[in-house]
Amino acid sequence: MHRFFVDPDCIRDGRAGVDGAVARQVSQVLRMRVGEIIALLDGTGWEYVVSLNSLSPSRLEGEVVSESFLSGEPDVSVTLYQGIMKGEKLEMVLQKGTELGISAFVPVVCHRSIPRAGGGRADARLKRWRSIVREAAEQSGRSLIPTVEAPVSLRDALEQARGVTLMAWEGEHETGLREALSKRLEQARVEGLGLLVGPEGGFEPAEVELAMEAGAVVVSLGRRTLRSETAGLAMAAAAMYELGELGTPGDAAGDPLAELTGVRSKEVQRGQRE
Ligand code: SAM
């Protein structure tokens, strides 16, 4: 089913009315017909399944046949603090991270990050990053569009981080990701989880020190050195797995409603409209 984020005002009293790009996409590109169904997401977590009853390149209208809330969102808020990399590697991380369930992306300017042009180029880049995340959210069935912040310093990233922060450092040989994560699952679920990954050149020891002083837990991702763009995604996938997000709703360990009913506590499913 094709899904589109639209302005919340497009849905009112069980009816949908959408103008502009989405109408053009549905009628001209996807060549959909009256009677077919699409999903419209209002960006606040609600998803509406809509049966089309009128369609033109400039406007579509339909009737809401069912709605659900946060059905595509994980039960844990994961922020990826990604050391800025060369070229367009971040774009792949944004797309795959959105599919995996990351809720916020914060590009981090580290000591060994390759400097990038600022000004208008930076604005255009941020705009492109945000459109990549929006498209990935539509494709993967997210109920919310993850946020993408403008690049920040490592110090600022550590200041804004909340809950559990895990810093991946290949110089760490005591604590592994799984050990650190499994001890902090409940805290992560309640307060959020931050994953901190360095650029291609890695973190400076002083940056690791800074992170530890700020309360981050430094973890190893194993004996192999992962590319920067691999590390964040591997951590995100591992976190989602540990939290039961890579499975059926009943897998969401620690969610009594899910274990009982198979419907996660945050997911409010409403059946067919009367
Ligand atoms: N020092 C690395 C090297 O020798 O190539 C450069 C850093 S690595 C390519 C990029 C980032 O991925 C690191 O800053 C770290 O955050 C993460 N990373 C890669 N492999 C890791 C591992 N085995 N354990 C922990 N972090 C790792």
Distance 194 CA to ligand 1 centre (A): 17
The residues pairing with 40 across neighbouring beta strands, listed in sequence order, are 4, 48
Q: Is 171 in the pocket of ligand 1 (CB under 6 A)?
A: no
Work out the widest C-alpha separation in the chain, in whole angstroms. 62
Q: Is 231 in the pocket of ligand 1 (CB under 6 A)?
A: yes
Contact 90, 129 (CB under 8 A): yes
Q: Is 222 in the pocket of ligand 1 (CB under 6 A)?
A: yes
pLDDT at 1 over 80: yes
Torsional sign, CA 70, 74, 77, 82: negative
Q: Is 197 in the pocket of ligand 1 (CB under 6 A)?
A: yes
Instruction: Categorise residue 163: left if φ over 0, alpha if ψ from -120 to 50, beta otherwise.
Output: left
Q: Is 220 in the pocket of ligand 1 (CB under 6 A)?
A: yes
Mean of pLDDT values over 110-131? 88
- Mutate which of 225, 228, 230, 235 for ligand 1? The one with the most ligand atoms within 8 Å of its CB, which is 225
| pLDDT at residue 195, as a whole number | 98
Distance 84 CA to ligand 1 centre (A): 13
Q: Which residues of 230-239 are buried (b: 16+ CB within 10 A; e: fewer)?
A: bbbbbbbbbb
pLDDT at 183 over 60: yes
Torsional sign, CA 267, 268, 270, 271: positive
Distance 196 CA to ligand 1 centre (A): 11
pTM equals 0.89
Distance 232 CA to ligand 1 centre (A): 10
Contact 5, 44 (CB under 8 A): no
Distance 269 CA to ligand 1 centre (A): 42
- 121 — pLDDT class (breaks 50, 70, 90): confident
- Where is average pLDDT lowest: 85-89, 206-210, 214-218? 85-89
pLDDT at 214 over 60: yes
Q: Is 90 in the pocket of ligand 1 (CB under 6 A)?
A: no
DSSP assignment of 150-216 equals PPEEHHHHHHH--SEEEEE-TT--S-BHHHHHHTTHHHHHHH-EEEEE--TT---HHHHHHHHHTTP
Contact 215, 165 (CB under 8 A): yes
Distance 221 CA to ligand 1 centre (A): 8
**Residue whose CA lies nearest to ligand 1 atom number 6:** 202
| pLDDT at residue 245, as a whole number | 93
Q: In this predicted model, what pLDDT tens digit does every residue of 220-245 receive, in sequence order?
A: 999 999 999 999 999 999 999 999 99
Distance 152 CA to ligand 1 centre (A): 20
**Residue whose CA lies nearest to ligand 1 atom number 4:** 225
Mean of pLDDT values over 83-91? 93
Distance 162 CA to ligand 1 centre (A): 23
Q: In this predicted model, what pLDDT tens digit does every residue of 130-158 receive, in sequence order?
A: 999 999 999 999 999 999 999 999 999 99
- 114 — pLDDT class (breaks 50, 70, 90): confident
What is the C-alpha separation between 258 and 14, in angstroms, rounded?
A: 28
| pLDDT at residue 110, as a whole number | 96
Q: Is 156 in the pocket of ligand 1 (CB under 6 A)?
A: no
Terminal Cα distance for the chain, rounded: 22
